[in-house]
């Protein structure tokens, strides 16, 4: 798959990113390397290989069970700012 400037511009638009023309070539090279790596992986014979469920074979799985939790008062005491029963957080999105 060939990655060109038009593809980069389209992906940037979908992602709502601004990519300067001076950066376009670097993004094109980087994305081309990623696609080439995926194409290389697609050539591997995975016949008979079970899907990977976990990255670590030694990872322990615990049984899900209902346990006690913090009371509302304890949770609010740990918050830097609150207006019970809600946590108060700084505004991060301006519209």
Query: Does residue 4 carry a pLDDT above 80?
Result: yes
Q: Classify residue 91: in a domain, yes or no.
A: no
CB neighbour burial string for 33-67, b if at least 16 within 10 angstroms, e if fewer? eeeeeeeeeeeeeeeeeeeeeeeeeeeeeeeeeee
Report how many domains make up the chain.
Answer: 1
Query: Does residue 61 carry a pLDDT above 80?
Result: no
Per-residue pLDDT at 52: 78
23 versus 61: which is more confidently predicted?
A: 23
Question: Virtual CA dihedral for 80, 84, 87, 92, nearest 10 degrees?
Answer: -110
- How many Cβ atoms from other residues are within 10 Å of residue 70's Cβ? 10
91 versus 39: which is more confidently predicted?
A: 39
Q: Classify residue 20: in a domain, yes or no.
A: yes
75, 83 Cβ separation under 8 angstroms: no
6, 16 Cβ separation under 8 angstroms: no
Whether the pTM exceeds 0.85: the reply is no
Q: Which residues form the domain of 33?
A: 5-42
Length of the chain, please?
A: 95
* Among candidate residues 7, 2, 5, the one with its CA nearest the CA of residue 33: 2
Query: Does residue 14 carry a pLDDT above 90?
Result: yes
68, 76 Cβ separation under 8 angstroms: no
Q: Classify residue 59: in a domain, yes or no.
A: no
Per-residue pLDDT at 57: 61
Taking residues 39-45, what's their average pLDDT?
Answer: 93
């Amino acid at each position: 798959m060939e990655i060109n400037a038009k593809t980069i511009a389209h992906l940037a638009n979908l992602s709502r990113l601004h990519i300067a023309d001076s950066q376009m070539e670097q993004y094109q090279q980087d994305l081309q390397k990623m696609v080439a790596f995926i194409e290389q992986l697609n050539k591997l014979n995975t016949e008979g290989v079970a899907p990977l469920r976990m990255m670590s074979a030694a990872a322990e799985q615990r049984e899900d069970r209902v346990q006690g939790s913090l009371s509302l008062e304890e949770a609010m005491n740990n918050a830097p700012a609150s207006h019970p029963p809600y946590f108060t957080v700084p505004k991060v999105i301006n519209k």
